[in-house]
Amino acid sequence: MQMRAILSVAALCLLALPAHADQYQYLTLEQATRAMQAIGTDTVVQSFCAPCDEVKSQPLTVASISIGRIWEGDSAEPYASDGRTFWEVVVNDQSVDLAYVYLHRDGRWENLALLLGLDAVKVPRYLSAQQLTP
């Protein structure tokens, strides 16, 4: 009986961990929609992961953008935690984490997650000149 309780707690912990994937890769439908609208198409964004110890950003030309539902493995069931299903933003057929995407706004590169009011951690609000790829 005690082993079953331990396994149940472990399973609940595992389900809670991917709520933001890394930070903001798993999103609510509203967050994904707002991010997709903010990015747009035929634009360039910067990809920069400060917590990964990246030194320079990588420019990414957005040829296509969409949102998609996160699915649980190979099942026909959407991934759900606390009764909510999650969505992702897909740029050029790759899922992106909003905490590591920067948009050009008012002459500076601003973090998308922070721009949308999300609590991303250990990421700069703006990229410095030293962090930008020339």
State the burial class of residue 62 (Cβ atoms within 10 Å of its Cβ: 0-12, 13-18, 19+): middle
Q: Are strands 58-62 and 43-47 parallel, antiparallel or unpaired?
A: antiparallel
CA distances from 81 to 26, 85, 107 (A): 11, 7, 38
pLDDT digits (tens, 9 = 90+) for 101-133: 999 999 999 999 999 999 999 999 999 999 998
Q: How far apart are CA 3 and CA 93, in angstroms?
A: 42
What's the CA angle centered on 129, arms 126 and 130, to 5 degrees? 110
Beta-carbon contacts of 16 under 8 Å, excluding residues fewer than 6 positions away, are 81
Answer yes or no: is pLDDT of 16 > 50. Answer: no
pLDDT at 74: 65
pLDDT at 18: 36
Q: Which two tokens stand for residue 72?
A: 């649980």
Q: Which of 10-19, 80-89, 101-110, 117-126 has the least mean pLDDT?
A: 10-19
Phi, psi of 95 (to 5 degrees): -65, 140
What pTM does this model have? 0.78
Mapping DSSP to helix (H, G, I), strand (E, B) and coil, where does residue 34 land? Answer: helix
> What integer is the mean pLDDT of 64-70?
93
pLDDT at 133: 87
